[in-house]
Amino acid sequence: MTTTDTNPTGETRASATVVDKAQYGLAGFLVIAGGYVLYDASTLDKAFADQPVQPYALPYLVGAALLLLGVLLAVATARGDKPEAEEGEDVDLSQGTDLRTIGLLVAVLVANLLLIDWLGWAITGALLFAGTTYVLGSRTWVRNLAIGAALSFGSWYGFYVGLGLPIPAGILDGVL
């Protein structure tokens, strides 16, 4: 595909459109992923014959969507469509990565991993929420701990009671 440009002297000349080849790579990845999902869905056993929606219905839908999106992206790329660059609406792109914040977030996650068996999810989940919000700028400890406790206790009961999946109760074993 070519376009016409006018140079400063007023002459018109044809110029080739630059094609973003990375988009072809993404399109190819989508097609391969969609094909694999479709193949994998075809290997699933039929579950209950009396069910209107079989277990392979959703993978077939997802695989077909991935294939379609990959083909549409390849066609759009061939037509010369290019994605717009991120303007960084609320992000200062000239600043580097804040390694202190990333390090503190990693420390909070590692502390959660080390303490979850001993203290249990209900406690460490609240500490994880409160620590993460503190690292990201919130300074209201009581509110953060209350929200974290509500989320962690709710998720503990949701998984343990609702789904029957055991989550470490830690020192609250027998209380929860």
* 109 and 56 both lie in a single domain: no
Residue 66 Cα distances to 58, 61, 81, 95, angstroms: 12, 9, 19, 35
In a domain, 89, yes or no: no
Provide the CB-side half-sphere exposure for 105 (13 A, CA): 9
How far apart CA 99 and CA 26 sit, in angstroms, is 30
> Residue 47 has what pLDDT?
66
Residue 116 lies inside a defined structural domain of this protein: yes
Note the pLDDT of residue 154. Answer: 94
Cα 145 from chain centroid (whole Å): 26
CA–CA distance from 76 to each of 15, 16, 83, 127, 150 (Å)?
19, 16, 10, 47, 47
Task: Determine, yes or no, domain membership for 103.
Answer: yes
pLDDT at 8: 61
pLDDT for 57: 83
Residue 124 near residue 148 (C-beta atoms within 8 A): no
CA-based torsion, 135, 150, 115, 161: positive or negative: negative
> What is the pLDDT at residue 88?
60
Alpha-carbon span 29 to 66, nearest angstrom: 9
| Domain shared by 107 and 155, yes or no | yes
- Per-residue pLDDT at 160: 87
Q: Which residues of the chain have pLDDT under 70?
A: 1-18, 47-51, 86-89, 91-93
State the pLDDT at residue 98.
Answer: 87
Please indicate, yes or no, whether residues 106 and 70 belong to a single structural domain of this protein.
no
Give domain status of residue 141, yes or no: yes
The verdict on residue 94 lying in a domain is no
Do residue 109 and residue 168 come from a single domain?
A: yes
Domain span including residue 165: 99-172
Domain identity same for 46 and 105: no
Q: Tell whether 149 is covered by a domain.
A: yes
Placement of tokens 């399109």 in the chain: 27
What was the pLDDT predicted at 11? 59
Asked whether residue 103 falls in the same domain as residue 66, the answer is no
- Whether residues 112 and 149 share a domain: the answer is yes
- Does 68 reside within a domain? yes
State whether 69 and 124 are in the same domain.
no
pTM above 0.75? no
Boundary (domain end) residue, out of 78, 113, 139: 78
48 and 104 fall within a common domain: no
pLDDT, position 140: 93
Structural domain count of the chain: 2
Q: Residue 136: in which H helix or E strand, if any?
A: none
* 15 occurs within a structural domain: yes
d(C-alpha 69, C-alpha 73), whole Å: 6
